[in-house]
Amino acid sequence: MVENKIVVQQIEKVLSQEFCCYGYKNMTAELREMGWVINHKKVYRLMKESKLLYGSRIRPIPFKRDFIRFRSLQPERPLQYLSMDIKYVYIHGTGRNVLLLTVIDIYSRKVLIYLLRSHIKKGDVLLMLSLMLLEYKAEGMSIRNDNGSQFIAQAVREYLKEKGIYQEFSHVATPEDNVYIEAFHSNLQREVMDRYEFDSIYHAQMVLDRYYEWYNEKRRHGALKRQTPNYVFKNFNPVPFENEKLLSYL
Protein backbone atom coordinates (compact mmCIF):
# COMPACT_ATOMS: atom_id res chain seq x y z
CA MET A 1 0.00 0.00 0.00
CA VAL A 2 1.30 3.44 -0.95
CA GLU A 3 1.95 5.84 1.93
CA ASN A 4 -0.41 8.79 2.24
CA LYS A 5 2.57 11.14 2.14
CA ILE A 6 3.43 9.99 -1.38
CA VAL A 7 -0.17 10.47 -2.52
CA VAL A 8 -0.19 14.01 -1.11
CA GLN A 9 3.09 14.77 -2.88
CA GLN A 10 1.53 13.66 -6.17
CA ILE A 11 -1.54 15.81 -5.52
CA GLU A 12 0.70 18.81 -4.79
CA LYS A 13 2.59 18.16 -8.02
CA VAL A 14 -0.66 18.25 -10.00
CA LEU A 15 -1.75 21.44 -8.24
CA SER A 16 1.61 23.10 -8.89
CA GLN A 17 0.54 23.65 -12.50
CA GLU A 18 -0.04 27.38 -12.96
CA PHE A 19 -3.82 27.36 -13.49
CA CYS A 20 -4.76 24.10 -11.80
CA CYS A 21 -7.19 24.40 -8.88
CA TYR A 22 -8.85 20.97 -8.99
CA GLY A 23 -11.31 19.87 -6.37
CA TYR A 24 -11.20 16.32 -5.06
CA LYS A 25 -13.37 14.87 -7.88
CA ASN A 26 -11.18 16.17 -10.70
CA MET A 27 -8.11 15.23 -8.72
CA THR A 28 -9.40 11.67 -8.31
CA ALA A 29 -9.90 11.42 -12.08
CA GLU A 30 -6.41 12.83 -12.69
CA LEU A 31 -4.78 10.36 -10.31
CA ARG A 32 -6.66 7.41 -11.78
CA GLU A 33 -5.53 8.39 -15.27
CA MET A 34 -1.97 8.30 -13.96
CA GLY A 35 -2.53 4.72 -12.85
CA TRP A 36 -3.36 5.24 -9.19
CA VAL A 37 -6.02 2.98 -7.67
CA ILE A 38 -7.77 5.36 -5.29
CA ASN A 39 -11.32 6.42 -4.42
CA HIS A 40 -12.68 9.94 -4.15
CA LYS A 41 -13.28 9.69 -0.39
CA LYS A 42 -9.60 9.15 0.31
CA VAL A 43 -8.61 11.95 -2.06
CA TYR A 44 -11.04 14.29 -0.29
CA ARG A 45 -9.68 13.34 3.13
CA LEU A 46 -6.04 13.77 2.15
CA MET A 47 -6.67 17.09 0.41
CA LYS A 48 -8.67 18.39 3.37
CA GLU A 49 -6.03 17.35 5.90
CA SER A 50 -3.31 18.97 3.79
CA LYS A 51 -5.39 22.13 3.14
CA LEU A 52 -5.29 21.49 -0.60
CA LEU A 53 -8.99 21.74 -1.31
CA TYR A 54 -10.07 24.44 -3.74
CA GLY A 55 -10.55 27.71 -1.86
CA SER A 56 -7.72 27.06 0.57
CA ARG A 57 -4.93 29.62 0.61
CA ILE A 58 -1.92 28.79 -1.53
CA ARG A 59 1.06 28.34 0.71
CA PRO A 60 4.12 30.09 -0.72
CA ILE A 61 7.23 27.99 -1.05
CA PRO A 62 9.80 29.20 1.51
CA PHE A 63 12.90 30.76 -0.02
CA LYS A 64 15.95 32.61 1.18
CA ARG A 65 15.63 36.29 0.42
CA ASP A 66 18.22 39.05 0.63
CA PHE A 67 17.00 41.72 3.00
CA ILE A 68 17.91 45.38 2.70
CA ARG A 69 21.14 46.05 4.60
CA PHE A 70 21.41 49.82 4.17
CA ARG A 71 18.36 52.08 4.11
CA SER A 72 20.32 55.05 2.79
CA LEU A 73 21.96 54.61 -0.59
CA GLN A 74 24.45 56.71 -2.52
CA PRO A 75 24.05 55.57 -6.12
CA GLU A 76 26.74 56.72 -8.53
CA ARG A 77 24.61 56.67 -11.66
CA PRO A 78 21.06 56.30 -12.94
CA LEU A 79 19.60 52.79 -13.13
CA GLN A 80 21.97 51.47 -10.48
CA TYR A 81 19.29 51.21 -7.80
CA LEU A 82 15.54 51.09 -8.40
CA SER A 83 12.66 50.93 -5.97
CA MET A 84 9.12 49.68 -6.56
CA ASP A 85 6.03 49.63 -4.41
CA ILE A 86 2.24 49.57 -4.52
CA LYS A 87 -0.04 52.34 -3.23
CA TYR A 88 -3.80 52.26 -2.76
CA VAL A 89 -5.77 54.86 -4.73
CA TYR A 90 -9.33 55.53 -3.61
CA ILE A 91 -11.95 55.89 -6.36
CA HIS A 92 -14.79 58.01 -4.99
CA GLY A 93 -17.15 57.11 -7.84
CA THR A 94 -17.11 53.42 -6.96
CA GLY A 95 -16.19 53.57 -3.27
CA ARG A 96 -13.30 51.16 -3.89
CA ASN A 97 -9.53 51.20 -3.90
CA VAL A 98 -7.42 50.42 -6.93
CA LEU A 99 -3.69 49.70 -6.94
CA LEU A 100 -0.88 51.87 -8.25
CA LEU A 101 2.51 50.23 -8.82
CA THR A 102 5.43 52.57 -9.45
CA VAL A 103 9.13 52.02 -10.18
CA ILE A 104 11.54 54.88 -9.53
CA ASP A 105 15.24 55.37 -10.18
CA ILE A 106 16.83 56.26 -6.86
CA TYR A 107 19.71 58.30 -8.33
CA SER A 108 17.46 60.74 -10.20
CA ARG A 109 14.10 60.03 -8.50
CA LYS A 110 12.72 59.62 -12.02
CA VAL A 111 9.56 57.53 -12.43
CA LEU A 112 10.51 54.86 -14.96
CA ILE A 113 7.17 53.12 -15.32
CA TYR A 114 3.89 52.74 -13.48
CA LEU A 115 0.73 50.70 -13.56
CA LEU A 116 -2.81 51.39 -12.32
CA ARG A 117 -5.11 48.39 -12.00
CA SER A 118 -8.03 47.09 -9.97
CA HIS A 119 -5.81 44.15 -9.03
CA ILE A 120 -2.09 43.62 -9.47
CA LYS A 121 -0.71 40.11 -9.69
CA LYS A 122 2.66 38.63 -10.53
CA GLY A 123 1.81 38.59 -14.25
CA ASP A 124 1.26 42.35 -14.17
CA VAL A 125 4.60 42.87 -12.45
CA LEU A 126 6.35 40.69 -15.03
CA LEU A 127 4.76 42.55 -17.93
CA MET A 128 5.62 45.93 -16.44
CA LEU A 129 9.24 44.94 -15.80
CA SER A 130 9.62 43.52 -19.30
CA LEU A 131 8.31 46.78 -20.80
CA MET A 132 10.69 48.77 -18.63
CA LEU A 133 13.66 46.70 -19.75
CA LEU A 134 12.82 47.38 -23.38
CA GLU A 135 13.77 50.99 -22.64
CA TYR A 136 16.49 50.67 -20.00
CA LYS A 137 19.47 48.35 -19.74
CA ALA A 138 19.47 45.97 -16.78
CA GLU A 139 23.26 45.78 -16.49
CA GLY A 140 24.38 46.35 -12.90
CA MET A 141 20.84 47.07 -11.73
CA SER A 142 19.40 46.38 -8.28
CA ILE A 143 15.78 46.72 -7.24
CA ARG A 144 14.28 46.87 -3.77
CA ASN A 145 10.71 46.08 -2.82
CA ASP A 146 8.60 44.89 0.10
CA ASN A 147 7.35 41.35 0.72
CA GLY A 148 4.07 41.60 -1.17
CA SER A 149 2.90 38.41 -2.85
CA GLN A 150 3.49 39.98 -6.27
CA PHE A 151 7.17 40.58 -5.52
CA ILE A 152 8.04 37.34 -3.73
CA ALA A 153 6.42 35.25 -6.48
CA GLN A 154 8.86 32.71 -7.84
CA ALA A 155 8.21 33.80 -11.43
CA VAL A 156 9.17 37.40 -10.61
CA ARG A 157 12.28 36.38 -8.68
CA GLU A 158 13.43 34.09 -11.47
CA TYR A 159 12.79 36.73 -14.13
CA LEU A 160 14.89 39.31 -12.31
CA LYS A 161 17.65 36.79 -11.72
CA GLU A 162 17.60 35.81 -15.39
CA LYS A 163 18.01 39.47 -16.35
CA GLY A 164 20.90 39.88 -13.93
CA ILE A 165 18.97 42.22 -11.63
CA TYR A 166 19.69 41.91 -7.91
CA GLN A 167 16.48 41.92 -5.86
CA GLU A 168 16.44 42.88 -2.19
CA PHE A 169 13.50 42.86 0.21
CA SER A 170 12.54 45.21 3.01
CA HIS A 171 12.19 43.70 6.45
CA VAL A 172 8.63 42.70 7.30
CA ALA A 173 6.46 45.64 8.43
CA THR A 174 9.37 48.06 7.95
CA PRO A 175 8.42 50.61 5.27
CA GLU A 176 11.43 52.70 6.32
CA ASP A 177 13.59 50.20 4.42
CA ASN A 178 12.10 51.48 1.17
CA VAL A 179 12.31 55.12 2.16
CA TYR A 180 12.81 56.54 -1.34
CA ILE A 181 9.55 55.37 -2.81
CA GLU A 182 7.77 55.98 0.49
CA ALA A 183 8.84 59.62 0.17
CA PHE A 184 7.55 59.65 -3.40
CA HIS A 185 4.21 58.25 -2.24
CA SER A 186 4.04 60.95 0.42
CA ASN A 187 4.44 63.64 -2.25
CA LEU A 188 1.90 61.88 -4.44
CA GLN A 189 -0.60 61.80 -1.60
CA ARG A 190 -0.20 65.50 -0.86
CA GLU A 191 -0.06 66.74 -4.44
CA VAL A 192 -2.67 64.49 -6.05
CA MET A 193 -4.71 62.20 -3.80
CA ASP A 194 -5.62 64.90 -1.27
CA ARG A 195 -6.68 67.28 -4.04
CA TYR A 196 -8.73 65.09 -6.37
CA GLU A 197 -11.85 62.95 -6.12
CA PHE A 198 -11.73 60.34 -8.85
CA ASP A 199 -14.96 59.35 -10.59
CA SER A 200 -13.45 56.18 -12.05
CA ILE A 201 -10.18 54.37 -12.58
CA TYR A 202 -10.00 56.01 -16.01
CA HIS A 203 -10.28 59.46 -14.42
CA ALA A 204 -7.49 58.53 -12.02
CA GLN A 205 -5.36 57.29 -14.92
CA MET A 206 -5.70 60.59 -16.81
CA VAL A 207 -4.77 62.65 -13.75
CA LEU A 208 -1.83 60.39 -12.89
CA ASP A 209 -0.56 60.50 -16.48
CA ARG A 210 -0.41 64.29 -16.25
CA TYR A 211 1.10 64.27 -12.77
CA TYR A 212 3.84 61.75 -13.53
CA GLU A 213 4.87 63.68 -16.63
CA TRP A 214 4.94 66.94 -14.64
CA TYR A 215 6.81 65.24 -11.81
CA ASN A 216 9.56 63.97 -14.12
CA GLU A 217 9.84 67.06 -16.28
CA LYS A 218 9.12 70.02 -14.01
CA ARG A 219 8.94 69.17 -10.32
CA ARG A 220 12.01 70.41 -8.49
CA HIS A 221 13.39 68.06 -5.87
CA GLY A 222 15.26 69.00 -2.71
CA ALA A 223 17.48 65.91 -2.83
CA LEU A 224 18.46 66.83 -6.40
CA LYS A 225 19.66 70.36 -5.54
CA ARG A 226 16.34 71.76 -6.76
CA GLN A 227 16.69 70.14 -10.18
CA THR A 228 14.07 67.94 -11.81
CA PRO A 229 14.31 64.13 -12.10
CA ASN A 230 14.57 64.19 -15.89
CA TYR A 231 17.28 66.86 -15.82
CA VAL A 232 19.42 64.79 -13.46
CA PHE A 233 18.74 61.60 -15.38
CA LYS A 234 19.56 63.11 -18.79
CA ASN A 235 22.48 65.18 -17.56
CA PHE A 236 24.29 62.03 -16.51
CA ASN A 237 23.51 60.43 -19.88
CA PRO A 238 24.42 62.95 -22.61
CA VAL A 239 23.30 60.51 -25.29
CA PRO A 240 19.48 60.53 -25.21
CA PHE A 241 17.53 57.32 -25.05
CA GLU A 242 15.75 56.22 -28.20
CA ASN A 243 12.42 56.65 -26.43
CA GLU A 244 12.33 58.74 -23.28
CA LYS A 245 8.58 58.85 -22.82
CA LEU A 246 7.25 57.88 -19.43
CA LEU A 247 6.00 54.32 -19.55
CA SER A 248 2.49 53.67 -18.35
CA TYR A 249 -0.33 51.32 -19.20
CA LEU A 250 -3.80 50.61 -17.84
| Cα 204 from Cα 250, distance rounded (Å) | 11
pLDDT of 45 reads 92
**CA dihedral defined by 30, 36, 58, 116, rounded to 10 degrees?**
-20
**With DSSP H G I counted as helix, E B as strand and the rest as coil, what are the percentages for the chain, rounded to 5?**
40, 15, 40
CATH of the domain spanning 81-235:
3.30.420.10
Would you say 200 and 93 are in contact if contact means Cβ atoms under 8 Å apart?
A: yes
* Terminal Cα-to-Cα distance of the chain (whole angstroms): 54
| Cα 44 from Cα 114, distance rounded (Å) | 43
Give the global pTM.
0.70
- pLDDT tens by residue, 76-116: 899 999 999 999 999 999 999 999 999 999 999 999 999 99
Please tell me the least confidently modeled range out of 63-72, 115-124, 172-181, 189-198: 63-72
User: Would the pLDDT of 211 be above 90?
Assistant: yes
